[in-house]
């Protein structure tokens, strides 16, 4: 089986790699050099990074296996297209049984056997039937002479045909079109790998977000249970009101409900992660999140766009498809031209029609020639094919323009969302600091008897809410960094089978 095609990669400037690869994703080793030369991240269940999850998904994806098989088929088709450039050799063997006929005799004065010229011709005749014919001619009985009739006809033939017009103007463009279609299939594999890798990272960060929310929810439940125990102790000592006890009980019930919700979310995202990674159970996997990205180091959208337009495999595939359709159009136009062909023919026949007089033996003859042929029907048929090729080419060009506009929009949206999340993280950090300060103040007031336990409980709930909001924003930033990485085409995911 043909090795899977190697997928194209590129090397971005070091400043961009440090700002986007490390600050945004943190999953590629910059010191290892270009992306194509770096080793794929090894799957580590005890410290699973987003890059590991993506590579695992790419390596085990059945969808990519199907795309690689289709690419292999496209390469085989491009290899087969070279057959059209080879001259056509036709070998044949034939036998015919002819019906009996009687040739009319031919007359004339008898031949002079004493004439040296006639004597020489007679001496050269070896066939018995032909010798008998000439014998009758020299004896003056030409009125009874006739050409012999052979009822068995044998033929061995080898013919070589080569159309110069077809080879140069039709088959060469078709060959180039087939090679370009194979390139399109390779790029489809690469684009599919990028899609699978991005989907894996989305599931990965969703699972991380669910686990973070569950962790905070459980911490909130523990704090609520501790506060309830404290309030109950104060109720027994007469230092708290029944309303504070009911408020504490309500906080525990709310926290328990939140834990139940986050447990369900963790179970769902864990199942999704197991499916995309093709593992039996994803619960034991320990997620190693990369550093929270900072939007301050992001290049502008205009700086990222040229690379995205040049490196996105779906755009490269559309450009290759456009070039293939142009080649197909050239081949169709060649069908309107006269066909210039050369041929060679060698025949061994018994009797051979070119030998006179005919004799019952195998004789070999050959011929070579050149033909120039043209049919008005070809003009009409090829005209329709050219029109169809023009329509397909126009559709691909329009699709390419639409895809380029979509890539530009996706890039700007991903960058804007990451910048917005970066600002949200700053606000969430400020909110958490304020909530923690308020909590400390309420605890001090409670110790001084200036407030109630319910106020302290509300302050604790506010701290937990601010903490989970910050955790979610930080994970969202990492997920959006992966989205921007995808939009900017700064990472190429190659299946392990292809990299070998």
Q: What is the pLDDT along the chain (500 residues), one digit of tens a residue?
A: 344 333 333 233 333 333 333 333 333 333 333 334 445 666 777 888 999 999 999 999 999 999 999 999 999 888 877 887 889 999 999 999 999 888 776 655 555 667 777 667 767 767 776 766 666 666 655 445 567 788 999 999 999 999 998 888 888 998 999 999 999 999 999 999 999 999 999 999 999 999 999 998 998 899 889 888 888 888 888 777 888 788 888 889 999 999 999 999 999 999 999 999 999 888 888 898 888 877 667 888 999 999 999 999 999 999 999 999 999 999 999 888 899 999 999 999 999 988 887 888 999 999 999 999 988 888 888 888 899 999 999 999 999 999 999 999 999 999 999 999 999 999 999 999 999 999 899 889 878 878 877 788 788 888 988 998 999 999 999 999 899 999 998 865 555 443 32
CB neighbour burial string for 9-31, b if at least 16 within 10 angstroms, e if fewer: beebeeebbebbbbbbbbbbeee
- pLDDT at residue number 366: 95
- pLDDT at residue number 324: 94
Domains of the chain: 14-85+168-336+383-499 (1.20.1600.10), 102-148 (no CATH)
- pLDDT at residue number 153: 93
Residues 6+ apart with CB under 8 A from 277: 53, 56, 57, 60, 200, 285
Tens of pLDDT, residues 131-143: 666 666 666 554 4
Are 325 and 398 in contact by the 8 Å Cβ rule? The answer is no
- Coil/strand/helix, residue 295: helix
> Which pTM was predicted?
0.72
Closest to 79 (Cα-Cα) out of 207, 174, 205, 203: 174
- pLDDT at residue number 122: 67
Residues 6+ apart with CB under 8 A from 132: none
Q: What DSSP string runs through 110-156?
A: PP-TTSHHHHHHHHH---HHHHHHHHHHHTT-GGG-------EEEEE
Are 331 and 177 in contact by the 8 Å Cβ rule? The answer is yes
- pLDDT at residue number 6: 37
Q: List strands edge to edge, sheet with 152-163.
A: 88-97, 152-163, 339-350, 363-373
Residue where the block lists tokens 């020639």: 369
Q: How far apart are CA 131 and CA 154, in angstroms?
A: 23
Strands 339-350 and 363-373: antiparallel
Whether omega for the bond prior to residue 164 falls within 30 degrees of 0, making it cis, is no
Residues 6+ apart with CB under 8 A from 282: 207, 270, 271, 273, 274
Residue where the block lists tokens 């044949």: 92
- pLDDT at residue number 47: 84
Percentage of the residues of the chain whose pLDDT score is greater than 90: 48
- pLDDT at residue number 116: 73
Q: How far apart are CA 462 and CA 439, in angstroms?
A: 8
Strands 152-163 and 88-97: antiparallel
- Coil/strand/helix, residue 460: helix
Q: How far apart are CA 255 and CA 354, in angstroms?
A: 106
Give CA torsion, residues 113, 114, 120, 123, to 10 deg: 50
- pLDDT at residue number 39: 59
- pLDDT at residue number 112: 63
- Distances 221 to 190, 206, 282, 443, 457 between C-alpha atoms, Å: 46, 22, 25, 18, 12
- pLDDT at residue number 146: 66
Q: How far apart are CA 270 and CA 257, in angstroms?
A: 20
């Amino acid at each position: 089986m043909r090795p899977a095609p190697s997928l194209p990669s590129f090397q971005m400037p070091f400043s961009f790699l440090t700002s986007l690869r490390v600050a945004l994703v943190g999953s590629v080793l910059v010191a290892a050099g270009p992306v194509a030369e770096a080793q794929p991240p090894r799957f580590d269940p005890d410290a699973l990074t987003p890059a590991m999850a993506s590579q695992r998904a790419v390596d085990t994806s059945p969808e990519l296996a199907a795309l690689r098989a289709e690419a292999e088929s496209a390469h085989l088709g491009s290899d087969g297209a070279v057959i059209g450039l080879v001259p056509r050799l036709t070998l044949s063997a034939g036998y015919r049984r002819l019906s009996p006929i009687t040739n009319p005799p031919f007359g004339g004065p008898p031949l002079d056997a004493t004439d040296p010229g006639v004597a020489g011709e007679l001496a050269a005749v070896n066939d018995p039937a032909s010798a008998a014919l000439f014998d009758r001619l020299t004896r003056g009985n030409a009125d009874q002479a006739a050409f012999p009739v052979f009822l068995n006809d044998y033929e061995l033939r080898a013919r070589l045909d080569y159309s110069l017009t077809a080879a140069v103007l039709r088959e060469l463009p078709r060959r180039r079109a087939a090679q370009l279609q194979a390139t399109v299939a390779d790029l489809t594999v690469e684009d599919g790998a990028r899609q699978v890798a991005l989907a894996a990272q989305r599931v990965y960060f969703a699972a991380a977000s669910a686990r973070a929310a569950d962790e905070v929810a459980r911490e909130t439940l523990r704090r609520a249970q501790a506060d309830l125990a404290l309030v109950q102790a104060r109720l027994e000592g007469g230092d708290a009101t029944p309303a504070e006890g009911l408020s504490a009980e309500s906080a525990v019930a709310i926290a328990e409900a939140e834990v139940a919700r986050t447990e369900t979310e963790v179970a769902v995202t864990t199942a999704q992660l197991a499916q995309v990674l093709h593992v039996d159970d994803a619960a034991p996997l320990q997620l190693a999140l990369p550093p929270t990205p900072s939007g301050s180091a992001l290049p502008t959208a205009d700086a990222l766009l040229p690379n995205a337009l040049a490196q996105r495999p779906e755009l490269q595939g559309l450009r290759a498809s456009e070039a293939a359709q142009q080649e197909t159009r050239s081949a169709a136009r060649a069908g309107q031209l006269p066909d210039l062909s050369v041929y060679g023919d060698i025949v061994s026949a018994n009797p051979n029609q070119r030998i006179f007089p005919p004799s019952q033996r195998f004789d070999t003859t050959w011929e070579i020639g050149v033909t120039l042929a043209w049919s008005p029907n070809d003009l009409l048929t090829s005209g329709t094919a050219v029109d169809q090729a023009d329509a397909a080419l126009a559709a691909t060009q329009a699709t390419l323009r639409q895809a380029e506009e979509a890539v530009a929009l996706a890039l700007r949206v991903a960058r804007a969302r990451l910048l917005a999340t970066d600002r949200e993280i700053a606000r969430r950090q400020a909110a958490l600091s304020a909530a923690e300060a308020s909590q400390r103040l309420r605890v001090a007031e409670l110790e001084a008897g200036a407030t109630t336990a319910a106020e302290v409980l509300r302050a604790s709930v506010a701290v937990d809410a601010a903490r989970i909001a910050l955790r979610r924003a930080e994970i969202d930033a990492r997920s959006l960094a992966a989205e921007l990485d995808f939009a900017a085409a700064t990472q190429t995911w190659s299946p392990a089978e292809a990299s070998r």
